[in-house]
Every structure is written in structure tokens, then in C-alpha cells.
Structure 1
Amino acid sequence: MTTLKYIAHYPEHIHSQVAMLISNGQLGSYLKEKYPSQHQIQSDKALYQYVNDLKNQYMRKSGPLTQVSYNSKLKVLKHALGTHTFQSRVQGSKLKSHNSIAVASLFKEAPAEFLRMIVVHELAHFKEHEHNKAFYQLCCHMEPDYHQLELDTRLWLHWRELS
């Protein structure tokens, strides 16, 4: 049986359901039926606009984004699907902030819902640094279906490895 590393921390009943989908060869069709098309955000410029629109909709008071990009080495180097950096520094008498987000390049081929889930996750880190209750409440505020999308994204990653 395939190791389900992306959902290792999920309950056993989810493991058994996913294992059954994989053994029956139905994981791909389940995902394609639920998420039939991929998004059209292919460039860093389009990704920046997409992320900035989400940030302005839900987090207007947080500092401006200075950089948003796809990163082809992200999954290999950091074992992450997206990263965020924030830095504050004093310039004269003002405090300047530098906020950036990098999204793994494999999400260029993902359904729009999965890209949104990753972006929401990284944006939430600008307010809540830890994965705590407030962090997940903020994620669910920005994307009400956040937890299901996170699970389906993990299933999509398994399916990609199996293909």
C-alpha cells in the first residue's frame, strides 16, 4: 500500500477512504469531478495581483505586499507548498515592512480552489504566526471551505505522485 504522507496526521477513517480511492484507481476521477479546471494565473505578475486583491479584501490594515512569486524549488528545499516572509526595519524615523509570499510552482497546474487555499494560508501568517485556533479562524474567514480544500489539496498531491 502507498504511504499517505500528505495526510499522515488525519484520522484513520480518512486514511481508509483515501486508500480505497487509490486502490480502486478513483482518486483522479474524484478530484477531476470535484475540481474540473485549473486556474489561469500563470505569471508572477498575475499571481501578485490575485494575492493583493485577496489581501485588500480581507486584510486591508496589514502592510503592503512587496513580492509574490511562484518558486520552482520550494517543495524540494523547504518541504512546503508556500512560504511567507515578513520583516520590519527602521528607516529614519519610520518603520518599513517587507512582506513577501512564494507559492510552489506546481500550483500553476492546480485547480483555482487549491491556489486560493495556499494563498489564504500564507496571508493568514501575516497576522497569526503560529498554526493556532486564531490562525485557522482567519483562514476560514477568508475561505469558508478552507479545511476541505486543504484535505483535497493534499489528495491532489498524492494523485500527482501516483501519476
Structure 2
Amino acid sequence: MSRNQKSNFLSGYSAELQQQAETLIDSGKLPDYLRKRYQSGHAVSNSKALYQYTLDIKNSYLRQSAPLSKVEYDDRIDVIHNALGLHTHISRVQGNKLRAKKEIRIATLFKQAPEPFLRMIVVHELAHIREKEHNRSFYKLCQHMEPDYHQLELDLRLYLTCLDRFGPVY
């Protein structure tokens, strides 16, 4: 997608909110807004650190949920057209037992994104361990793990819009 085309990251929001976002974009103030609101960088720079980061959040809120087999950054996830993170549940028969593996993959974009955005994506994918669908229970669980979840989701969409329109923010 070229930078001149409008992305659809904010399509699910009200017309009023979309207009406010367009005003920030048209005035060129969106990158400054994001830089002021969110510091750049974090120490979660590789898949091993991401696994530990995710495990710490899981152990704080979802202790009794099934263990995670793998958590890693994945450069094959296309953020603009596909997803920000993926969760998989794989069941395999080993002998007479059924083994389940749960994996989370996060787009490599989040290596450079502000830490609150990384946390929001991790919380989102962890919530899928308990709730498969994006329903009321799912979002309630997300808010339990991250009270500012909905604001972070909106700001992440603004961040993605900014990347699409202006290039790297930090």
C-alpha cells in the first residue's frame, strides 16, 4: 500500500473519532502525538526475552491456563494486510495421550514499537488461550490483564496508520 492511499485501521471506530484522527494526520501532527504519548523502545528484543515477558504476564493473570510451548517474533506476519500476532492450538496424539501445544507469534514490528503496544498484543494473544472468539468475555479478560486495553488498541491503530502514512515514528 502506498503512503498516499488511506489505510483502514480505524474503520471500526465512530465517524467523529475517525475525523479527529484525519485532522491529526492531515496536519502532520500524528507522529508528534505518538512520540509525546509513548516512549520508544523496550528491552524485549529477541524471542527468548519475548517468551519470558509473555510468561510473566501469563503467570500473573492466567496461572491455571495451559502452558505455552513457544512465543516468538515472526517476520512472516504481514501487519498491514494480515495480523499483529497469532495464536495457535495444536493437538497431537502421542501414544495413548493427547498433547496440546499453545504457541504465540508476534509481528517483528513490535521489536521497535513502544512497550505498551507490545504488552497490548501479548495480552490480546494470551486472552485467546481462554476465549477463542472476540466476544464480551474476551475483552473483559483483556481489560483485566491491561486496564487501558481499549485506549492502547486505539493508539496502536493510530501508530499503524502513522507508519503507513509517514514511515517510522521513532
TM over 0.5: yes
**Alignment length, in residue pairs?**
163
Give the secondary-structure state (helix, strand or coil) at the position aligned to 1:83.
strand
Q: Gaps (5+ residues) in structure 2?
A: none
Match of 1:149 in 2: 152
Partners of 2:163 and 2:42 in 1: CA distance: 17
Q: In structure 2, how many angstroms separate the alpha carbons of the residues matched to 1:14 and 1:8?
A: 10
Distance 1:156 1:77, change over 3 A: closer
* Higher helix proportion (structure 1 or 2): 1
* Cα deviation, residue 88, structure 1: 3.0
What residue in structure 2 maps to residue 158 of structure 1?
A: 161
> Are the counterparts in 1 of residues 40 and 112 from structure 2 also a CA contact under 8 Å?
no
**Aligned partners of 1:76 and 1:139: how far apart in 2?**
20
1:123 is matched with 126
For residue 34 of structure 2, the aligned residue among 31, 35, 55 is 31
Name the residue aligned to 2:75: 72
- Give, in angstroms, the shift of residue 77 of structure 1: 9.4
CA shift, 1:94, in A, is: 3.8
Q: Is 1:4–1:15's contact at 8 Å kept on the other side of the alignment?
A: no
> Do the aligned partners of residues 93 and 77 (structure 1) sit closer, same or farther apart at CA in structure 2, a change above 3 Å counting?
farther
- CA deviations over 1:51-93 (Å, ceiling 9, x no partner): 0111111101111111111111101697000000012334345
CA distance in 1, matches of 2:81, 2:9: 15
Give the TM-score normalised by structure 1: 0.94
Corresponding residue to 1:49 among 28, 31, 52: 52
Deviation at 1:2, TM superposition (A): 5.3
Residue matched to 2:92: 89
What is the Cα deviation at residue 9 of structure 1?
1.0
Aligned in 2, Cα 1:76/1:50: closer, same or farther, shift over 3 Å? Answer: closer
Output one character per residue of 1:108-148: Cα deviation in whole Å (capped at 9) or x when no partner: 11000000000000000010000000000000000000000
C-alpha spacing 1:29/1:106, structure 2 compared with 1 (3 Å): same
Q: Which runs of 4 or more aligned residues in structure 1 lie more than 6 Å from their structure 2 counterparts after TM superposition? A: none
In percent, how many aligned pairs have the same letter? Answer: 50
- The CA deviation at 1:161 is 1.2
Contact 2:7 2:164 in 1 (8 A): no
Deviates more, 1:91-100 or 1:131-140: 91-100
